[in-house]
Amino acid sequence: MSGQALRDLNVLPPSELDKKPDGSVKGKVCIGNIVENHEKKTKVPTTVSDSLLNDAGLGNNVIEAGNLEVEYIDSENLTDLQDVDACLSTLSARLDSKEWVSICEALNNVRQLSLYHKERMMEMLGSVIPLIVKSLKNPRSAVCKTAIMTSADIFKVYGDVIIDSVDPLLVQLLLKSSQDKRFVCEAAVTALIAMTTWVSPSLLLPKLQPYLKNKNPRIRAKASMCFSRSVPRLGIEGIKSYGIDKLVQTAASQLSDQLPESREAARVLALELQSVYEKSQGSPTEDSKEVENADSWEVFCQAKLPPLSAQAIIRVTSTPKEALVAGC
């Protein structure tokens, strides 16, 4: 059996994931000896202390320690903890455990604490986020995906509060969203979308900017997606304040990128910038003579970009109008 085939047996593909009635997803994870039949379940011993789990009040929101069935629980299906104090007292130790089951349970506890006990969890974020980053680097897919889901919930709950700690999370999520293991990749994309939704664009865009020039084209593509999603949230005044010329230069640089995903994100960004520019130039509150003498979008692009880049931006932003005219 080839090395690739052995790797493929470690985690079942997304098509084998079963959606449960409560909204959670069950993934069958094989460790130890490789099995030929994906439906076969392999029992493995665990050294996770039952008393530790019970004391923390983990309930049914976690992975069953006695087998290999990993539960990926949607945020809306997470319930509150039975004993918050006990959970908090052991949280860091379990996040840093050598037992992967214990790590996954602790990650789910971080999600529960964030959702139901925001203020108490906030006090520990400084020490917890590095441990989440460590789990994002974990080679075991179950740990990695649970850490990704934890990151998404942290973005949703804390938003701008974690901006000073977002860099290590962002690096790992961009990496995971660029890998070949699809169910991990899709979870990472979901977390990145949560980040662009809940973290202020004025704070996030400078964090994303360096990754638009990363050597890895897949990372550039995911960073471009995040950048393109964040810019419209600035609003017209925010875009003007940030610098529409700087943003159009960013869009132009991505239009010539290697991957179609980057180019599509750049096209969407360019269209947004064109819309904002034309609205700001043609506002009905402005003097009509000033509007008449205002530079067109094409003139603006030619003034702010090298000739080839200006042509590329003008081409992608004029296509929709041309298609509309042709349709008429």
Q: Give the SS3 label for residue 49.
A: coil
* pLDDT above 70 coverage of the chain, percent: 72
Q: State both tokens at 272.
A: 């947004």
Of 193, 283, 208, 293, give the one whose Cα is nearest residue 242: 208
Do the Cβ atoms of 23 and 76 come closer than 8 Å?
A: yes
Of 178, 98, 179, give the one whose Cα is nearest residue 138: 98
Q: Is 212 exposed, middle or buried (0-12, 13-18, 19+ CB in 10 A)?
A: buried
For 281-292, write each residue's pLDDT tens digit: 865 444 444 444
Alpha-carbon distance 95 to 147, whole Å?
Answer: 10
Of 148, 153, 184, 190, give the one whose Cα is nearest residue 169: 148
- pLDDT score of 184: 94
Angle between helices 217-230 and 244-255 (to 10 degrees): 150
**Alpha carbon of residue 221 to chain centroid:** 13
- pLDDT score of 60: 42
H helices present in 117-140, as ranges: 118-122, 125-136
Region 179-185: mean pLDDT is: 89
Confidence at 4, pLDDT banded by 50, 70, 90 = very low
Alpha-carbon distance 110 to 125, whole Å?
Answer: 9
Of 66, 130, 69, give the one whose Cα is nearest residue 96: 130
For 91-119, write each residue's pLDDT tens digit: 999 999 999 999 999 999 999 999 999 99
Beta strands per DSSP E along the chain? 18-19, 25-28, 69-72
Do the Cβ atoms of 187 and 148 come closer than 8 Å?
A: yes
Domains of the chain by residue range: 200-283+301-328
